[in-house]
Structures are given as structure tokens and as C-alpha cells.
Amino acid sequence: MFNLGSFLGSILGQDNKKKFHEFYKIVGEINKIEGDFEKKNHEELKDYSISLKKRHSDGETLDSLLVEAFALVREASKRTLNQRHFDVQLIGGIILHRGGISEMKTGEGKTLASTLPAFLNSLSGNGVHIVTVNDYLAKRDSQWMGQIFKYLGLSVGCITNELAGIDLRQKMYNSDI
């Protein structure tokens, strides 16, 4: 009989197998509360975003807020972009938040996955910089994915080579995202 756990362990090694089990547990927790966020209106979602930031400033760790933050971003994405983060994108977001590299092929939703850790880490109030390979993608993604962040009450900036003026550049650097 086929055993997925043994198969993953043989391919990924025991350490990675344990990590994936942990990731799927976290994804299960996010999925479990998805319905709670679906019931909230826009103002309630924005207020929830503010409350997460306050909870972090009061001492809760970003890791302890991850499940709620990811569920909140998923709901905002559904409402603004009509796109729901798949479980694999949630896993990618967890890996990115933890400082890892999440390899995804073209079309698998890297840009959408990045909104999860970007929002979570913005709760610290230090600003989050998302770096991309060229000005076209920087503009596109700040406008496209920026809808999610703005929906949740965050400011979004975009810095490109053509951006002139120290004041304007400073304003962009001081954005939440």
C-alpha cells in the first residue's frame, strides 16, 4: 500500500517531511477560519487588520498572528481580485515569511503568494519592500496586488528608476508595502 508520508520522507528527507506536515497543519487552521472572515464586511476586515497590528505592538509574535493574517489576506484577495489563495500558495507564503525560498513555476501564483507574508510582516510597522526584476513588474504588481493591501487599510508605494525627486521617493519608501 502507498504511504505518502514515507514517500515524502524518502524524497525530501525527514526534516523536510516534518516541515511539510507542519505547513499542512497551519494551512488546515487557515482553512478552518476562512468562513469567519467571509462573514465580515469591509470595515470589519479593516478593523481586524488594525487589531492584528495592535496585538503585535502589544507583544504577540508575527508567527502567532500568521493564521489569522493569512486568512484575512485570502478574504481580501477574493473580494478585490476575485482570486483565492490555494493551499500551495499558503505554504509558499509560510516559507517566505520564515525566510526560505519557495520555488513556483510560471503561472502558479508567486505574486499572489507574496501578499501573505508581505501583509503579515507589515504588522510590525517597519514597512515591507517587495523586490522584483524590472520596473514593469514593479508597477504592475504594486497596482494589482496593491488592491489587497489598500483594502486592508495599508499604504502602497512603488519605486522605479524613472521616479524622480527625493521627496516622492521618500514617500514611497515610507509606505506600508
The Cα–Cα gap between 44 and 38 comes to 11
- What pLDDT, on a 0 to 100 scale, did the predictor assign at position 175? 96
Q: What percent of the chain has pLDDT over 90?
A: 76
Q: 116-173: per-residue pLDDT in tens?
A: 999 999 999 999 999 988 999 999 999 999 999 999 999 999 999 998 888 999 999 9
Q: Is the pTM of this model over 0.85?
A: yes
Cell numbers given for 164:
524622480
Distance in angstroms (rounded) separating the CA atoms of residues 62 and 59: 9
Structure confidence at residue 108 as a pLDDT band (50, 70, 90): confident
Looking at residue 100, its pLDDT comes to 87
pLDDT in tens, 30-89: 999 999 999 999 999 999 999 999 999 999 999 999 999 999 999 999 999 999 999 999
In this prediction, residue 75 carries a pLDDT of 98
Give the gyration radius of the chain's Cα atoms. Answer: 17
Cell numbers given for 131: 523586490
In the chain, the N- to C-terminal Cα span, in Å, equals: 48
- Amino acid symbol at 19: K
Report which secondary-structure segment, H or E, holds 34. Answer: helix 4-38
Cell numbers that stand for 65 in this block? 498572528
